[in-house]
Every structure is written in structure tokens, then in C-alpha cells.
């Protein structure tokens, strides 16, 4: 029997920030990007206004999938690329302070990410672990049907990226999986710094994992809040996962060896900027200039600690060095990667198979005692399944460069 709706149908109407996507549904479709059916006005009206199909069908078609909060849709939206094997993409929306008539007339401040991506394209490298920009185009605030002859300038920029899943949606269970993650992120940081680029906003939600080739027949667009633990997937000890840095909106491409910048913003607050190791939210900077490359090292080290805490003993000295309060005492990205290989390339099979604490995933578990205990038991059940599989297949092998 179909589940009844928990709320009245009008509660599933579009939120304010979703209207822009609904207004531009046909425009995106013409460009080769199909948004969710929730943003197809004809489909939503057929259910919400005219009741041409029932609530069960509406749920199955994703019409009830309201974003986690209203701000989500103001930042970007998922879509399916119709021209290339129905690949999933993320369309990031940037609103311009000054309207323009072409991409060539965009200011650096408006499309910093696009310019940074041009550097990546010009310097292909195995260490490149930055999400590739698939497309960039201009858009109007108003839908095409409402445009007039005087609306010749554009007010929005859309950046299209391949879909990436937040890494805490699929927990690490053993050291071999986590070490591969750490290696790719360190290589990516070396790549950025070799190009004289500082990311400047590394934190857990600015790192994603490609769905390919881990997840099979999974549609995360249907419900972004879903847990992927029970979805069909391939284990990362068999198939290597691909991780990407995302969001280069604060990044800086330096023209020389002077990497001192002014603090603009960031999720992880640097001790050299805020004058303390763990500044509380809302703290004001005590000094704004800082070395951006050293800041990247601290933010990445703090991100690793946030995920794994001390559950990978061989990496603890490296992570402690990366998160030194004094930026002059931190290793460079190159030194971090060299130290990483020195500590992990010769790990024994049992060190690679030891369980690892995924702190971020644990924090997302339910507070309820019974449900939390059940999640705990399921996590260990999954670990032992993976352990037995690894032993049977001859253990994961370290990929060294």
C-alpha cells in the first residue's frame, strides 16, 4: 500500500530559490541538460494543481524531493547531460554584480573558477585531482519567454561539472581505502602548488568522490539526502575511487613566489590569521595577511584529522606537522607527499587492513540509542565483510608513484 504524504500537497511546492531553475527548465534542456522533473512546470502542475496522477507516482518521479534547505538551490542544481550517455552533472550558479553581453567580458572576480580551470587544462598531469569544468555559459535572470529586445545582457554564469558525491556519504572502513584518499589529495595539492595556485578553502565539503566506477545503477539525483550504504557498489579495495577538489571560488593563481594574501573567507579558520588554534565561529581575524600555500597545508591536514582522527597511526606524525600553529614549521606540499610515501609504501598487510575511524560519517549517525547501536553493528558487519573479501582476494595492494 502506498505511503500517504506526511504533509499537505501545497507544502511540496517549489521553494523561493527553486523558481529560477523551474523558469529555465526548457532553456537548460535545449542546451543538453535535463533538470529534475520537479522543475518541469508542466509536470508539477499536472500533479500539484490538476491531480492528473497520484502521490505515489509523484514520489517515484522525485516531485517531493525538496532540497535540504532553501539555500541549496541558490548555489547550484543537479542535472542529467542528455548528449553524453545521460551523465550526471552539477550546475553551479553565479550571479553577476554587473551584467555582461559575452563570456569574454566577464571580470576576473566573476569567474575566477573558470580562469583557474584554464590553467588545469593547459597543464595535464597525473597529479591533477581537481574537478574538471565541463561547460560554462551565460544565462538571464528572467526565463526566455519573458525576455524583450532590450534584454541583451546576461546576469548569471553557469559552470557545469561532473557529478561528485560528498565523501562522507560513503564511509571508509579500512586503512587501505583511507590511504588512497590521502594520497590523491596530497598529489592534488602538489599539483596546485606546482602551478603556483592556492586553493584557500580546503575543507571536508570541498572534496568529492566520483560515482564512477564505485556505484552502479545509483541515481543520487532522485534524493540527495539518501544514504548510499545499501546501494549496489564496488569495493574500493578492488576498484580505485577518484577524488576531486572542488570550489575554486577563493583560489589565487600567483604570478611570482610571493604567496602572501589577505584573508577573504573560509570554513576552516587558520590559526595564523585568527591568533588561536581553534577559533570559534564568528571570530574576527587578528591579522589578515597570510601565506596561502602554508594555509592550504594546514586546512588539508585538519580535514584529514577531522575524518580519521588518530585511527591511522602511521600518518599521525605527518598530520601533526601539517597542522602546526606556526606556518613556518609546516612542511610544503611536496614534503608532505614525500613523507606520506615514506610512511605508507611499506606498510604490512595487516596495517592496511586495520579498521579506520571515519569521524565525519560517525557524526552523521542518528542520536537515538537503539538506532545508533544498530548503525554501529552494521558498520562492523560491513568491515568484517570487507576484511574477509580482502584476505580471500590477496589483500589490497598499495599504489605508489
Confidence of residue 224 (pLDDT cuts 50, 70, 90): very low
**Of 125-134, 140-149, 218-227, 250-259, where does mean pLDDT reach its minimum?**
218-227
Ranges 32-36, 103-107, 360-364, most confident: 32-36
Pick 367 or 313 by higher pLDDT: 313
What percentage of the chain reaches a pLDDT higher than 70?
88
* 135-155 per-position pLDDT tens digit: 999 988 877 777 666 676 888
CA dist 46 and 50 (Å) reads 5
CA dist 248 and 279 (Å) reads 24
Q: Please give the pLDDT value at position 367.
A: 65
Q: Please give the pLDDT value at position 68.
A: 63
**Per-domain boundaries in the chain:** 9-162, 164-393
What string of H, E and C letters represents the secondary structure of the chain?
CCCCCCCCHHHHCCCHHHHHHHHCHHHHHHHCEECCHHHCHHHHHHHHCCCCCCHHHHHHCCCCCCCCCCCHHHHEEEEEECCCCCEEEEEEEEEEEEEECCHHHCCCCCCHHHHHHHHHHHCCCCCCCECCCCEEEEECCCCHHHCCCCCCCEEEEEEEEECEEEHHHCCCCEHHHHHHHHHHHHHHHHHHHHCCEECCCCCHHHEEEECCCCECCCCCCCCCCCCCCCCCECCCCCCCCCEEECCCCCCEECCCCCCEEECCCCCCCCHHHHCCCCCCCCCCCCCCEEEHHHHHHHHHHHHHHHHHCCCCHHHHHHHHHHCCCCHHHCCCHHHHHHHHHHHHCCCCHHHHHCECCCHHHHHCCCCCHHHHHHHHHHHHHHHHHHHHHHHHHCCCCCCCC
Confidence of residue 284 (pLDDT cuts 50, 70, 90): confident
Q: Of 373, 375, 381, which Cα lies nearest the Cα of 355?
A: 381
* 63-104 per-position pLDDT tens digit: 888 876 556 788 899 898 987 666 889 999 988 888 888 888
Instruction: Find the mean pLDDT for residues 196-201.
Output: 97
* 299-329 per-position pLDDT tens digit: 999 999 999 988 999 999 999 999 999 999 9
**Of 193-202, 274-283, 346-355, where does mean pLDDT reach its minimum?**
274-283
Backbone angles phi, psi at 297, to 5 degrees: -60, -45
**Packing angle, helices 292-308 and 175-194, rounded to 10:** 170
Pick 47 or 395 by higher pLDDT: 47
Q: What is the CATH number of domain 164-393?
A: 1.10.510.10
What string of H, E and C letters represents the secondary structure of 144-205?
HHHCCCCCCCEEEEEEEEECEEEHHHCCCCEHHHHHHHHHHHHHHHHHHHHCCEECCCCCHH
Instruction: Find the mean pLDDT for residues 204-222.
Output: 77
Amino acid at each position: 500500500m502506498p505511503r500517504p504524504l506526511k504533509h499537505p500537497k501545497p507544502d511540496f511546492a517549489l521553494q523561493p530559490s527553486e523558481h529560477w531553475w523551474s523558469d529555465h527548465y526548457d532553456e537548460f534542456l535545449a542546451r543538453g541538460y535535463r533538470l529534475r522533473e520537479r522543475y518541469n512546470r508542466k509536470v508539477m502542475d499536472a500533479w500539484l494543481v490538476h491531480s492528473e496522477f497520484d502521490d505515489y507516482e509523484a514520489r517515484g518521479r522525485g516531485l517531493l524531493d525538496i532540497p535540504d534547505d532553501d539555500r541549496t538551490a541558490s548555489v547550484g542544481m543537479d542535472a542529467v547531460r542528455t548528449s553524453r550517455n545521460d551523465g550526471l552533472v552539477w550546475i553551479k550558479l553565479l550571479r553577476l554584480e554587473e551584467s555582461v553581453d559575452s563570456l569574454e567580458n566577464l571580470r576576473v572576480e566573476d569567474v575566477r573558477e573558470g580562469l583557474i580551470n584554464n590553467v588545469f587544462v593547459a597543464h595535464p598531469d597525473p597529479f591533477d585531482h581537481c574537478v574538471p569544468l565541463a561547460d560554462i555559459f551565460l544565462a538571464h535572470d528572467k526565463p526566455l519567454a519573458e525576455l524583450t529586445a532590450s534584454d541583451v545582457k546576461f546576469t548569471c554564469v553557469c559552470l557545469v561539472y561532473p557529478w561528485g558525491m560528498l565523501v562522507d556519504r560513503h564511509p571508509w572502513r579500512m586503512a587501505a581505502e583511507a590511504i588512497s584518499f590521502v594520497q590523491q589529495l596530497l598529489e592534488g595539492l602538489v599539483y596546485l602548488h606546482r602551478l603556483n595556485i592556492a586553493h584557500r578553502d580546503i575543507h571536508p565539503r570541498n572534496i568529492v568522490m566520483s560515482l564512477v566506477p564505485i556505484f552502479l545503477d545509483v541515481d543520487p539525483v532522485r534524493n540527495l539526502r539518501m544514504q548510499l550504504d545499501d546501494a549496489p557498489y564496488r569495493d574500493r579495495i578492488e576498484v580505485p575511487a577518484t577524488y576531486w577538489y572542488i570550489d575554486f571560488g577563493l583560489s589565487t593563481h600567483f604570478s611570482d613566489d610571493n604567496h602572501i594574501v589577505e584573508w577573504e573567507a573560509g570554513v576552516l579558520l587558520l590559526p595564523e590569521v585568527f591568533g588561536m588554534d581553534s577559533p570559534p565561529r564568528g571570530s574576527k581575524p587578528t591579522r589578515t595577511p597570510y601565506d596561502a600555500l602554508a594555509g592550504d597545508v594546514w586546512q588539508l591536514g585538519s580535514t584529514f584529522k577531522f575524518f580519521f582522527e588518530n585511527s591511522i597511526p602511521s600518518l599521525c606524525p605527518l598530520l601533526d606537522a601539517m597542522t602546526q600553529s606556526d606556518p613556518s614549521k609546516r612542511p610544503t606540499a611536496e614534503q608532505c607527499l614525500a613523507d606520506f610515501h615514506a610512511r605508507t609504501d611499506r606498510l604490512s598487510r595487516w596495517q592496511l587492513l586495520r579498521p579506520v575511524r571515519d569521524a565525519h560519517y560517525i557524526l552523521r549517525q542518528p542520536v537515538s540509542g537503539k538506532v545508533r547501536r544498530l548503525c554501529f553493528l552494521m558498520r562492523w558487519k560491513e568491515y568484517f565483510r570487507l576484511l574477509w573479501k580482502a584476505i580471500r582476494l590477496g589483500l589490497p595492494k598499495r599504489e605508489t608513484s
